[in-house]
Amino acid sequence: MSSEPIPLVQALATFDALWSPRIVTRVNDYDVRIAKVDGEHIWHAHDDTDEFFLVLDGELRISLREPDGERTVLLPQGSVFTVPRGTEHKPYAPSGAAILMFEPTGTPTVGDHHDEIPEHIDSTTGHALNT
């Protein structure tokens, strides 16, 4: 990890892959990941961890399957939202977005339970940021 400040705009400019997060730094046992997203991800759940989202640019929507039914939260630029552990969710960005996520190191992007993984989704625990 870098011992210098990391401008997120510059970090986002180092890659084009969608739904393929880059690890910008670590905090204790947590990754701080950034990603470019467009279109739909997949329904998935993380059994043992919450998932934090911050929208850096654009707009993100997250559909949730909760005990009372399904709902969708809208996150405009600058908004944060945490998906509770065990909650099935599906992020999507109809017009593209850049996001920051905070989750334990090694957490797979497709969760512990998920639908079939389409070609455009990178099933990873995050890639190193090559600045």
Contacts of 13 (CB under 8 A, 6+ apart): none
Domain architecture of the chain: domains with CATH? 8-107 (2.60.120.10)
Share the mean pLDDT of the chain: 94
- Provide the pLDDT confidence category of residue 113 given band limits of 50, 70 and 90: confident
Q: Structure tokens of 45?
A: 């759940």
pLDDT tens-digit series, residues 20-71:
999 999 999 999 999 999 999 999 999 999 999 999 999 999 999 999 999 9
- At residue 105, the 3 state secondary structure works out as coil
Q: With helix as H, strand as E and coil as C, how does 108-120 read?
A: CCCCCEECCCCCC
